[in-house]
Homo-oligomer: A and B are copies of this chain.
Amino acid sequence: MRIGIDLGGTNIAGGLIDESGKLLYKHSVRTDTSRGANGICSDIVALIEKIRQENGNCEILSIGVGVPGQVDCDTQLVVYCNNIPLQNTDLKSIIEEKTGIPAFIGNDADAAALGEVKAGAAQSFKDVVMITLGTGIGCGLIFGGRAFPGCNGASGEIGHISLIPDGIECNCGRRGCFELYASATALKRQTREAMEKNPESKLWEIAKSLDNVSGKTAFDAMRAGDAAGSEVVRQYIEYLAIGLTDIVNLLQPEAIIIGGGISKEGETLLAPVRDFIARNRYSRGDIQTQVLKAALGNDAGIIGAAFFGV
């Protein structure tokens, strides 16, 4: 048995996972950033203890924690953690001292990708890129069946590859980053822009107001035969597919796994993405990158974290 922890800005989710990647027990607590680094570390350790106690104090081979940030691969120190005050914290040593169990710290997107490889949509693959379409675009890389954190734990920032060099300004300092066009946040912005340009569009009936737009609004309008909604979806899918074709041409992974809220559209999203890639990729022959929907939802990060260091 292993324990996986997914540290998020809202919740700390933990679970007990068997060697096949099955999630046997799950529990989560609120992330209280006001408690500072020490408090958060204590909450993580308390969650680990609770998981053990609720499961008959079974033997735990290792504990893994996925954090929303950059972890130094050698020292395992948290270099940077988005919205959580864990910078320069030695979470690994703290957990190991308190529990006596080997601990491994890594990036949460890498954990999600590893989860999908161990027990989800990518179970038959060893070279996988997982993309999560959410507030930004998360990305975890799995090469040879293991997470690939890069030289500094900061790999997978596909959200910040350049889609349009003179495009929209990004918080990261670049312009035209991929996530400004292909994240859920981007789709919502594109939907609102279409509403403002098209006062007669069914987008208004569906969303009621600009404040109420979701990542589903444009898809729903398209299904209702609305031209403006269809155009938003067409353009969004093209932006997404340009970035994914870049991944295919560069890496030719066995699979690209798409997760996050927008992935719930399933084939409505994936079929045209696959078509675009097939028309634009450089590779020849029958063996090609498969584009698949993620299978594990939020559990992927807990399951994958449990296999850090394995």
> Chain A binding site: helix, strand, loop or mixed by DSSP?
loop
| A164 contacts the other chain (CB 8 A) | yes
- Each complex incorporates copies of this chain amounting to 2
| A70 contacts the other chain (CB 8 A) | yes
**Contact across chains for B151 and A72 when beta carbons are under 8 A apart:** no
| A157 contacts the other chain (CB 8 A) | yes
**Contact across chains for B127 and A252 when beta carbons are under 8 A apart:** no
**Contact across chains for A287 and B152 when beta carbons are under 8 A apart:** yes
Residue A162 contacts which of B80, B139, B163 (CB distance < 8 angstroms)?
B163
In the bound assembly, the distance between CA atoms of A289 and B143 in angstroms comes to 19
**Contact across chains for A141 and B242 when beta carbons are under 8 A apart:** no
Residue A282 contacts which of B149, B157, B245, B253 (CB distance < 8 angstroms)?
B157
**Contact across chains for B287 and A157 when beta carbons are under 8 A apart:** no
**Contact across chains for A165 and B127 when beta carbons are under 8 A apart:** no
**Contact across chains for B285 and A160 when beta carbons are under 8 A apart:** no
Binary flags per residue of A258-294, CB closer than 8 Å to B gives 1, else 0: 0000000000000000000001101111011100000
Closest to A255 in B: B151
**Additional pairs, 4, CB under 8 Å, beyond known A150-B283, A156-B250, A161-B250:** A70-B283, A139-B250, A150-B252, A162-B246
A residues in contact (CB < 8 Å) with B: 70, 72, 79-80, 127, 139, 141, 143-144, 148-158, 160-165, 172-174, 242, 245-247, 249-254, 279-280, 282-285, 287-289
